[in-house]
């Protein structure tokens, strides 16, 4: 299979696949009002699909997004070496420019406490719960 991409003057992008002869015919037909953005390529020369390892690495990198990733980043930086309250965690994230309500952070912290790797520990104090690594 051959594949071709066309970008029309108005910005519309068109991609089509077929045999090399079909793609060549379509490119010749549309060459008057469009410009091909890439040359024709067959599926043999296209990039291989990502395997399990590549998908796992991508997933691992994406896990750093959102409050879970931010809290894990704080843990990795040593923020949880001393006991921290939910308010302390919220203030630290706000200092970094990430504003979350305590009601949004609490379930994330619970998930990190319950995780198999015991990413955080939760201790009961007179004031309330504190988190430590």
- Residue among 119, 116, 89 at smallest CA distance from 105: 89
Average pLDDT of the segment spanning 11-38: 69
pTM (2 d.p.): 0.52
Q: What pLDDT is attached to residue 82?
A: 94
SS3 category, 89:
helix
**Could you write out the DSSP letters of every residue in the chain?**
-EEEEEE-TTS-EEEEEE-HHHHHHHHHHHTTT-EESS--EETTTSPPPP-HHHHHHHHHHHTTSHHHHHHHHHHHTTGGGS-B-HHHHHHHHHHTT----HHHHHHHHHHHHHSTT---EEEE-SSSEEEE-
- Which CATH number applies to 63-132? 1.10.10.10
Nearest to 38 by CA among 79, 73, 2: 2
Mean pLDDT for the chain overall: 79
pLDDT tens-digit profile of 44-97?
Answer: 555 555 666 665 555 554 456 799 999 999 999 999 999 999 999 999 999 999
Going from N- to C-terminal start, the domains of the chain cover 2-42, 63-132
Report pLDDT digits (tens) over 17-26: 788 787 777 7
pLDDT confidence of residue 62: 47
- How many CB atoms within 10 Å of residue 31? 11
């Amino acid at each position: 299979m051959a594949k071709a991409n066309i970008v029309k003057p108005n910005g519309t992008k068109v991609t089509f696949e077929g045999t090399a002869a079909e793609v060549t015919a379509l490119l010749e037909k549309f060459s008057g009002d469009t410009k091909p953005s890439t040359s024709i390529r067959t599926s043999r020369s296209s990039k291989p699909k990502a395997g399990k390892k590549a998908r796992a690495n991508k997933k691992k990198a994406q896990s750093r997004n959102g409050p879970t990733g931010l809290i894990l980043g704080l843990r990795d930086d040593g923020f949880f070496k001393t006991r921290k309250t939910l308010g302390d965690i919220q203030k630290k994230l706000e200092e970094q420019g990430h504003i979350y309500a305590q009601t949004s952070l609490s379930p994330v912290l619970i998930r990190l406490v319950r995780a198999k790797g015991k990413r955080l520990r939760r201790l009961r104090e007179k004031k309330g719960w504190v988190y430590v690594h």
